[in-house]
Amino acid sequence: MSENTSSNHNKNRKQQQLDEFRVRNAGKPMTTNASRKISDDERILTAGKRGPGLMEDVHFFEKITSFVREEIPERKVHARGYGAHGEFECYKSMKQFTKAGFLQEAGKKTPLFVRFSTVQGSKGSKDTARDLRCLGIKFYTDEGNYDMTLISFPVLINQDAMKFLDVIHAYQPEPRTGMPQASGAHDTFWDYVANNPEALHMTLWVMSDWGLIRSYRMMPSFSVNTYLFVNEEGVATFVRFIWKPVLGSHSLLMDEAQKIGGIDPDFHRRDLREAINMGAYPEYELGVQMIPMEDEHKYDFDILDSTKFWPEELIPAEIVGKMTLNRNVDNEFAELEQAAFNPANIVPGIDFSNDPVLQGRLLAYRSAQYHRLGSKNYDQLPINRPLCPFHNNQRKGYMQYRIDVDETSYHRNSLTNNTPYTTPPKEGGYKHYPTKVEGHVTREVPEKFYDYFTQPRIFWNSLTSIEKQHMIEALSYQIGSCESESVRQQNVDLLVNVDKEMATIVADNVGVNRPTGDHVPVSTSYPSLSQASTPKYAYSLKVGVLVGDGFNGNEVTNTLNTLKKYGVFVVIVGATLGTVTGDDGTELKVDETFITTSPYLLDSIYVVGGSAKNMERFNSDIMNYINVAYKHYKPIGVGSNGHSYIHATDRNNLSGVVFAKDNPNFGEDFVAAIGHMRFWDRK
């Protein structure tokens, strides 16, 4: 029996199952895999002290062969990712629409495991790449595993699974050069976009602020594909899923994302781990958008088209439950790398629609996972195995863990009374919804799929002016990075369909002719497409307290208490590690130095000041932090001794800069500013 390395509080059933596999090696004798105790793990076996190695050194052979076989193929897409364990709590019964067990009653909890990922880069790439992000959720339900797969935008880049493979070839590093890593800013990607106009819509989402998330804790996710809910009576409803982060959806600026990519490529995974360790469990509410079968053709867009969103203003997202991530992984490889999400893993009450992207996806994942995990038996790995037992006649294969002891392994038998038996739908056996299908075998495209520009135009119309400005910068950077002038020109000529003014500015920036023609005549806009519509909180944002010896003890203690009260994460930043001492003897432990952290990694700064051995360096470090925070529109709190750092003629005009001097309410005002996140009106 293996050991349990985790503490015993509040373990759900999946955690208890995983405990069966958790092993702690510390404090134990080292052995070979066959359990022979090892006496020396540092020297190879040699014939004489200075003689040649011996073939009988089987311990070395085992050690080296294990080492060189440690890595498995990366995921073809989504190689870079991270995740955590958690649970889902149902808020209200969805019985009326679906018989899925985990949605039947309010209060029902289901354990789950998630993995967030970028798409383009390899496993070792940076977290902050401008990219679409994905979320795989494995619900360990009482009826078997249900895998929900989602992306961070409401639209995908292709309308048909067949095209996904081409767009990924165009998006990933170019075949001749192997570059660029984790970036779409290159010729083949933009050549693809220009020549496959269905790609434009999602590309604009990647170019928007939504493509640069601040944190996985602030990432929304959309199923994009259309599924079916099916209830006990067999009535089906079209459904799309949306997860809304309770903290709201927020982003980095392009400059920040690029810098952080170098300063801390693990920015998002570190943020997720830290928040969970601090007890600030990430939460996301599940919304379902539903369309009755009879309304299938009611909308201007085709509801089976993955490149079209379902506007929440027309099809509201009914909130039905909440996911909380409350436990970090213990082993990145065993839990994250071996996790296998598959949209084909569904439970009774959920079914597939005819969405042509989804139909192709149903085959892609198992094929990828057989290859990546090396055996058809990967469902038996601890992270993938369901909580309920599984029985069938599938046997053998590499790494078969089970010892099936039956006499038979075929269906319709008499020897084992025709078992394992099939279950009639009425008793829980899965039955596909009997969708009526008619028509000729074809590769034709449904008519509404050809509308490539209406929704991109609506998306553009819905953005605030600062969001539009960010998108123009992103387009100018990305298209401007293409060597081919023809590719640059083609993209500008495509963008004009979305917005003439935007395409003209981009044309000027990337050195090609201004586009002729005009955008599509659509003036609709939806607030839900802009980040401006999502909530903001100071809770769990990171404030760097820039401090030296002799700081104002009373003021800093009060401010830190207020920050703590609102759950703001505080990082004490000093000239050196150790402690700093205030004017009243208060001691603060320094968490980071000006060198080990960076203003790019902080959401806000509190300029306290004080003294340090090298005052010139101390002051210049503080000025650097202020400049970066100010330039990126971040809130800045200035302690009464920190005033000398702010060289402004009119301090009242510094939007988002909160001064402690003569302000008895400084702590609360500063927290309010942190919760505001960015001060776009700053000059």
Residue-wise DSSP of 500-528: HHHHHHHHHHHTSPPP-S---S-----GG
Helices assigned H by DSSP within 374-484: 454-462, 465-480
Q: Where are the beta strands (DSSP E) in 205-317?
A: 221-222, 227-230, 236-245, 283-292
Q: Alpha-carbon distance 157 to 99, whole Å?
A: 32
Stretch that binds ligand HEM, among 15-23, 44-52, 77-85, 317-325 (CB under 6 A): 77-85
Q: Alpha-carbon distance 164 to 153, whole Å?
A: 16
Is 81 an interacting residue with respect to ligand HEM (CB under 6 A)? yes
Please say which residue, 74 or 191, places its beta carbon nearer to ligand HEM. 74
Is 115 an interacting residue with respect to ligand HEM (CB under 6 A)? yes
Q: Alpha-carbon distance 629 to 429, whole Å?
A: 58
Q: Is 679 annotated as a binding residue?
A: no
Residues 201, 361, 385, 457: which binds ligand HEM (CB under 6 A)? Answer: 361
> Between residue 586 and residue 625, which ones bind ligand HEM under the rule CB under 6 A?
none
Residues 141-170, mask of contacts with ligand HEM (x by CB under 6 A): --------xxx----x----x--x------
The Cβ of residue 542 has, within 10 Å, a number of other Cβ atoms equal to 19
Residue listed under structure tokens 């990546």? 372
What lies within 8 Å, CB to CB, of 50 at 6+ separation is none
Query: Which among 181, 195, 168, 175 is positioned nearest to 487, based on CA atoms?
Result: 195
Is 77 an interacting residue with respect to ligand HEM (CB under 6 A)? yes
> Between residue 467 and residue 486, which ones bind ligand HEM under the rule CB under 6 A?
none
Helix (H) or strand (E) holding 164: helix 161-171
Stretch that binds ligand HEM, among 72-80, 250-258, 413-421, 635-643 (CB under 6 A): 72-80
Q: Is 361 annotated as a binding residue?
A: yes
Which token pair is 568? 């703001």
Q: Alpha-carbon distance 575 to 611, whole Å?
A: 9
Residues 207, 219, 286, 340: which binds ligand HEM (CB under 6 A)? Answer: 340
Stretch that binds ligand HEM, among 43-51, 294-302, 317-325, 367-375 (CB under 6 A): 367-375
Please say which residue, 148 or 560, places its beta carbon nearer to ligand HEM. 148
For the CB of residue 338, give the shortest distance to ligand HEM in the complex, in Å: 10
Say if CB 569 and CB 542 are below 8 A apart: yes
Is 117 an interacting residue with respect to ligand HEM (CB under 6 A)? yes
Residue listed under structure tokens 């020109």? 489
Site size for ligand HEM, by CB under 6 A?
30
Query: Which among 129, 21, 5 is positioned nearest to 78, based on CA atoms?
Result: 129
Q: Which residues on adjacent β-strands are paired with residue 118?
A: 133
Burial-class residue 591 by CB neighbours within 10 Å (0-12, 13-18, 19+). middle
Q: Alpha-carbon distance 57 to 36, whole Å?
A: 13
Residues 103, 135, 471, 671: which binds ligand HEM (CB under 6 A)? Answer: 135
Q: Alpha-carbon distance 362 to 323, whole Å?
A: 25
Query: Which among 623, 599, 544, 635 is positioned nearest to 260, based on CA atoms?
Result: 599
Is 136 an interacting residue with respect to ligand HEM (CB under 6 A)? yes
Residues 344, 362, 364, 570: which binds ligand HEM (CB under 6 A)? Answer: 364
Helices assigned H by DSSP within 106-220: 161-171, 187-195, 200-207
For the CB of residue 30, give the shortest distance to ligand HEM in the complex, in Å: 33
Residues 357, 463, 538, 556: which binds ligand HEM (CB under 6 A)? Answer: 357
Please say which residue, 323 or 588, places its beta carbon nearer to ligand HEM. 323
Please say which residue, 120 or 149, places its beta carbon nearer to ligand HEM. 149
Q: Is 477 annotated as a binding residue?
A: no
Stretch that binds ligand HEM, among 33-41, 310-318, 338-346, 649-657 (CB under 6 A): 338-346
For the CB of residue 390, give the shortest distance to ligand HEM in the complex, in Å: 19
Q: Which residues on adjacent β-strands are paired with residue 115?
A: 83, 136
Residues 206-245, mask of contacts with ligand HEM (x by CB under 6 A): ------------------xx--------------------
Residues 24, 76, 123, 651: which binds ligand HEM (CB under 6 A)? Answer: 76
Is 125 an interacting residue with respect to ligand HEM (CB under 6 A)? no
In the chain, the largest separation of any two C-alpha atoms, in whole Å, equals 93
Q: Is 164 annotated as a binding residue?
A: yes
Is 110 an interacting residue with respect to ligand HEM (CB under 6 A)? no
Q: Alpha-carbon distance 102 to 278, whole Å?
A: 29
Q: Alpha-carbon distance 646 to 626, whole Å?
A: 8
Residues 280-319, mask of contacts with ligand HEM (x by CB under 6 A): --------------------------x-------------
For the CB of residue 120, give the shortest distance to ligand HEM in the complex, in Å: 13
The Cβ of residue 329 has, within 10 Å, a number of other Cβ atoms equal to 20
For the CB of residue 290, give the shortest distance to ligand HEM in the complex, in Å: 18
Is 126 an interacting residue with respect to ligand HEM (CB under 6 A)? no
What are the backbone angles phi and psi of residue 352, rounded to the nearest 5°? -90, 150
Q: Which residues are annotated as a binding site for heme?
A: 75, 115, 164, 361, 365, 372
In the complex, which residues of this chain contact ligand HEM (CB under 6 A)? 75-78, 81, 115, 117, 134-136, 149-151, 156, 161, 164, 224-225, 306, 339-341, 357, 360-361, 364-365, 368-369, 372
